[in-house]
Copies of this chain bind each other. A is one copy, B any other.
């Protein structure tokens, strides 16, 4: 799990420095819960206006989400059952590094794509980064576009065995969104970022 002992923010400041510079004061912090994937830290803070309050922060490791684009213009989506919401969702391949820290996001993206879809990417473009839910979580995601694809075997973890892969045109993908059938926020956001960059 990421620790907020002294991580560096985007401006080279520590998280602590950034908060102080914005007028926030952290009076105390305690780890209220943790499992191998998710921790919950509870801070007692003073807001810039002087008011004291509790801030619960969901701490999770960085993740990657990949849009795999084939030479014929088709893309590969997956479907999987998501236990927290009780639905089988359409998604782009994605994953979070659970065991190692300081892993290169590109390595993670190559690995997750291969494991979930069997696709090997000759080109993995880092499109940008985003925060999953900055109001309550520190989790950061990296968006990738994968190209020069070749297909091999999937390497699903035992808990991912229900994942199915589906190749479709960009038009079919956009129809899924338009019809309300693609409900995964991560996939929607990744698509917006890739599109804004003019990459598809």
Q: Known interface pairs A54-B35, A138-B84. Does A185 touch B132 (Cβ–Cβ under 8 Å)?
A: yes
- Asked if B180 and A129 make an inter-chain contact with CB atoms under 8 angstroms apart, the answer reads yes
Name the B residues within 8 Å of A49 (CB-CB).
158-159, 161
Q: A35-B56, A42-B35, A56-B37 are in contact. Are A131 and B184 (CB under 8 A)?
A: yes
B9, B58, B159, B177: the one within 8 Å of A86 (CB): B9
Size of the chain A interface, CB-CB below 8 angstroms: 74
| A165 at the B interface (CB under 8 A) | no
A93 nearest CB across to chain B (Å): 12
User: How many copies of this chain does the complex contain?
Assistant: 2
Q: By the criterion CB–CB under 8 Å, are B134 and A47 in contact?
A: no
Q: Is the CB of A131 within 8 A of B183?
A: yes
Of A70-78, A109-117, A147-155, A190-198, the one with at least 4 CB within 8 A of chain B: A190-198
**What CA separation (Å) do A45 and B138 show in the bound complex?**
27
Q: A87-B10, A135-B82, A188-B189 are in contact. Are A33 and B33 (CB under 8 A)?
A: yes
**Please, which residue of chain B has its CB at the minimum distance from the CB of A55?**
B83
Q: Which residues of B contact A89 (CB under 8 A)?
A: 131, 134
Name A189's contact: one of B10, B86, B136, B192 (CB within 8 Å). B192
In the complex the two chains form, is A185's CB within 8 Å of B51's CB? Answer: no
B51 touches A158 (CB 8 A): yes
The 10 closest A-B pairs by CB, nearest first: A18-B86, A188-B189, A192-B192, A82-B134, A177-B196, A189-B189, A188-B192, A15-B86, A185-B189, A33-B33
